[in-house]
């Protein structure tokens, strides 16, 4: 294990190392890794049929380590942390927020936030600034989520956002067994401090929103849908802003959607710009698709999208681009714990899975040459030819009942962003001289671990305005 780690940059996300370990040792289906005395033994799943067993039965639950690391931030009463009937109750409340019709209704607000992003790109182009694209897309993602969660303009892109600042500070203090000792000691104290600040900010926003909310049945956001659930159970929402238990639940779910929604979205958008910048022939095809659907100017695009949001569903090439970026750079691995006696079956044999950290190693499935042709190459066209692969091996958002509730929203946001940027700006990655590199896994844009898998150094870029 120690020797294997030496082959990779110290900050590289471990999914890369474990994926290559599986391939080099021909570990098919699943394999065990003993990390004693540093952590529990781990079981890595590298086959979609094995993975599905942990996602579609009640024999596997969210691992306590996940709740221990993120629970202090998102709380104990949310769709992230709850189980059983309470989880089903809350999931039912929020599912309408992610219906296609509702998500399309959010596109005007996405356009509004993306226009701010375009203004920031124009400013960076004028100054020639090299900036962290992932920082920029994170601020955009947070502003998107603010509109989705509470129909609130957080304005993270244009000034200091106390919500973003407190949230970033809280998540930066999460620690694992591989973290330095000093961070593990201080982690809970610092997370509690920054989470308290975050809670104060969001609680005031939520309380005021509910105080002013008319009981008119018009539900525009996740917080509105929570209120709708409250109305069904209590007959009225008059006292909702004074019900501390309900406010805690609304607060915890708001934080959950911020946590779950910003990382994957920001990384996707960052890598989307990067791969388009180094694949000019494919970029030309994407630009042509956007011209044919929206017209050739930004003004025409905004007008077309605003009047007919369903046009985003006509972007088949852009959708293939998004799927390919997510295939190449999954957000990391999800971990579960088996109940006593739990097993996993592969190739007719049962394997014990009740004393290990059970990890879904999506990267191993995404780079499996038996499933994908030339898996280390950027080739979005593979997703336009579904007969060439099985989507069961595409493990971005999970499967089963606890799959990511916002998966369609993430891709819609990315399509809107692409439509409003890639024809009007040129992007160039600006890496540090003699920077580190992982061939076949993004090269110099490899994924580093900062809570989740993020683009190396935020993927520094320079942007210029295209002369159209």
Paired strand residues for 337: 61
Tokens at 116, concatenated: 């701010």
The packing angle between helices 107-127 and 407-421, to 10°, is: 50
| DSSP designation for 467 | -
Tokens at 153, concatenated: 């303009």
Q: Three-state DSSP class for 294?
A: helix
If 0-12 CB within 10 Å is exposed, 13-18 middle and 19+ buried, where does residue 326 land? buried
> Is 118 annotated to bind ligand?
no
Tokens at 66, concatenated: 């996940």
Distance CA(451)–CA(191), nearest Å, equals 13
Tokens at 304, concatenated: 């077309």
Q: Three-state DSSP class for 265?
A: helix
| DSSP designation for 431 | P
Alpha-carbon distances, residue 358 vs 29, 61, 137, 200 (angstroms): 13, 10, 31, 36
Q: Report H helices in 173-243.
A: 181-212, 222-234
What are the DSSP E strand ranges found in 223-267? none
Phi, psi for residue 463 in degrees, rounded to 5: -125, 150
Distance CA(190)–CA(63), nearest Å, equals 23
Alpha-carbon distances, residue 92 vs 10, 98, 120, 149, 408 (angstroms): 42, 11, 38, 16, 17
Q: What share of the chain is helix, strand, coil (3-state, %, to 5)?
A: 55, 10, 30
Distance CA(254)–CA(332), nearest Å, equals 22
Q: Three-state DSSP class for 105?
A: helix
Task: Report the run of H or E that residue 277 belongs to, with start and end.
Answer: helix 244-277
**Residues annotated in a binding site:** 404
**Residues annotated in a binding site for heme:** 404
């Amino acid at each position: 294990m120690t020797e294997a780690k030496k082959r990779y940059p110290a900050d590289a996300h471990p999914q890369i190392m474990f994926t290559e370990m599986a391939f080099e040792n021909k570990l098919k289906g699943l394999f065990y890794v003993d990390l004693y005395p540093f952590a529990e033994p781990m079981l890595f799943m590298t086959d979609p049929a094995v993975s599905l067993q942990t996602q579609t039965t009640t024999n596997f639950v969210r691992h306590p380590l996940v709740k221990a690391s993120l629970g202090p931030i998102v709380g104990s009463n949310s769709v992230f942390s709850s189980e059983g009937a309470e989880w089903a109750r809350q999931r039912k409340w929020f599912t309408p927020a992610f219906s296609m019709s509702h998500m399309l209704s959010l596109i005007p607000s996405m356009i509004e936030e993306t226009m701010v992003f375009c203004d920031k790109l124009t400013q960076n182009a004028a100054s020639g600034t090299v900036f962290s694209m992932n920082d920029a897309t994170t601020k955009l993602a947070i502003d998107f989520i603010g509109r989705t969660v509470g129909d609130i303009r957080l304005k993270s892109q244009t000034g200091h956002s106390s919500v973003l600042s407190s949230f970033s500070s809280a998540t930066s203090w999460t620690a694992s067994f591989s973290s330095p000792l000093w961070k593990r000691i201080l982690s809970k104290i610092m997370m509690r401090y920054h989470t308290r600040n975050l809670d104060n900010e969001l609680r005031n926003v939520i309380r005021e929103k509910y105080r002013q909310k008319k009981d008119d049945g018009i539900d525009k956001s996740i917080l509105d849908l929570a209120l709708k659930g409250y109305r069904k159970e209590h007959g009225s929402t008059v006292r909702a802003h004074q019900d501390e238990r309900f406010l805690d639940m609304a607060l915890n779910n708001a934080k959950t959607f911020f946590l779950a929604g910003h990382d994957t979205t920001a990384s996707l958008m960052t890598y989307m710009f990067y791969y388009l910048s180094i694949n000019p022939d494919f970029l030309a095809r994407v630009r042509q698709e956007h011209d044919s659907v929206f017209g050739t100017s930004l003004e025409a695009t905004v007008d077309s999208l605003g009047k007919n949001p369903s046009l985003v569903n006509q972007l088949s090439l852009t959708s293939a681009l998004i799927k390919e970026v997510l295939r190449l750079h999954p957000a990391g691995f999800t971990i579960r714990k088996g109940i006593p006696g739990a097993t996993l079956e592969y190739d007719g044999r049962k394997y014990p899975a009740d004393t290990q950290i059970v990890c879904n190693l999506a990267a191993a499935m995404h780079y499996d040459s038996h499933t994908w042709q030339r898996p280390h190459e950027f080739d979005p066209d593979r997703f336009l030819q579904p007969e060439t692969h099985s989507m069961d091996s595409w493990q971005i958002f999970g499967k089963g009942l606890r799959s990511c509730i916002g998966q369609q929203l993430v891709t819609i946001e990315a399509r809107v962003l692409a439509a409003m940027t890639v024809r009007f700006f040129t992007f160039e990655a600006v890496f540090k001289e003699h920077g580190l590199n992982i061939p076949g896994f993004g090269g110099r844009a490899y994924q580093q671990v900062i809570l989740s898998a993020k683009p190396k150094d935020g993927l520094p870029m320079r942007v210029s305005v295209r002369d159209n």
